[in-house]
Amino acid sequence: MNISDLALDSGVFEEATQHVQAAITIFEQLGDQPQIAVAQTRLGTIALRAGDRAAALGHYRQSLMLAHAIGFQPGIVESLEGMAACSLAKQPLLAAKLLAASAALRATIQLPVAFLEMRHHTQLIEATRHASDSVHWAATWQAGQSLSVAQAVALALAKVTAGLDELIDIMYH
């Protein structure tokens, strides 16, 4: 656990953000692209837990694009999961499909869910189940697991969107 995790778990979102942004500055100086992707995912998680879905989506998109461009599969996994969380409220079946694609990639690269994230991860999957009937959810999950990495990335980037009210806030405030 690092200091930004402690701040996040304490609900001190500004402090958590500051620590991650400081880390990004260092990673940029070092040219450490995978860690920049990881840090962008952390910023997404902080924003999402602070209730700013539009900002979270922006960070997850940046992370996903970078991770995909450099072939950093753990970054792709976590970005897809973050984008699934962003899409849950308005696009629960899309969230399920992205989580399934992420689960398939996790299995392929043998990347377990971090212990500290297990509860949130399980809650996210369960929320997608409860948002639709079991037949549609199961079919969507199966379809998501059969997506290639490139297909999952393209789906997330094309279909996960902020709501219109959130886009207006981003554009004019």
Per residue in 88-135, pLDDT (tens digit) is 999 999 999 999 999 999 999 999 999 988 999 999 999 999 998 889
Angle, CA of 141, 49 and 60, to the nearest 5°: 60
pLDDT at 165: 47
Q: Are 77 and 114 in contact (CB under 8 A)?
A: no
pLDDT at 1: 44
Tokens of 144: 């998501």
Weakest mean pLDDT among 19-23, 31-35, 84-88, 160-164: 160-164
First to last CA, the chain: 34
Q: Is a pLDDT exceeding 90 seen at residue 9?
A: no
pTM of the model: 0.89
Q: Is a pLDDT exceeding 70 seen at residue 144?
A: yes
Q: Summarize the confidence of residues 12-26 as an average pLDDT.
A: 88
Q: Return the DSSP state at 17.
A: H
Can you list the domains of the chain with their CATH numbers?
Answer: 3-172 (1.25.40.10)
Q: Is a pLDDT exceeding 60 seen at residue 84?
A: yes
pLDDT at 31: 97
Question: pLDDT band at residue 59, thresholds of 50, 70 and 90?
Answer: very high
pLDDT at 172: 47
pLDDT at 162: 59
Q: Return the DSSP state at 117.
A: G
- In sequence order, what are the residues at sequence separation of 6 or more whose Cβ sits closer than 8 angstroms to the Cβ of residue 142? 100
pLDDT at 134: 87
Q: Are 147 and 155 in contact (CB under 8 A)?
A: yes
Weakest mean pLDDT among 86-90, 151-155, 167-171: 167-171
Residue bearing tokens 């960070």: 59
- In sequence order, what are the residues at sequence separation of 6 or more whose Cβ sits closer than 8 angstroms to the Cβ of residue 23? 4, 35, 39
- In sequence order, what are the residues at sequence separation of 6 or more whose Cβ sits closer than 8 angstroms to the Cβ of residue 84? 94, 95, 96, 98, 99, 102, 124, 128, 156, 160
Q: Is a pLDDT exceeding 90 seen at residue 167?
A: no
Cα 8 to Cα 14, 28, 35, 105: the distances in Å are 9, 23, 18, 27
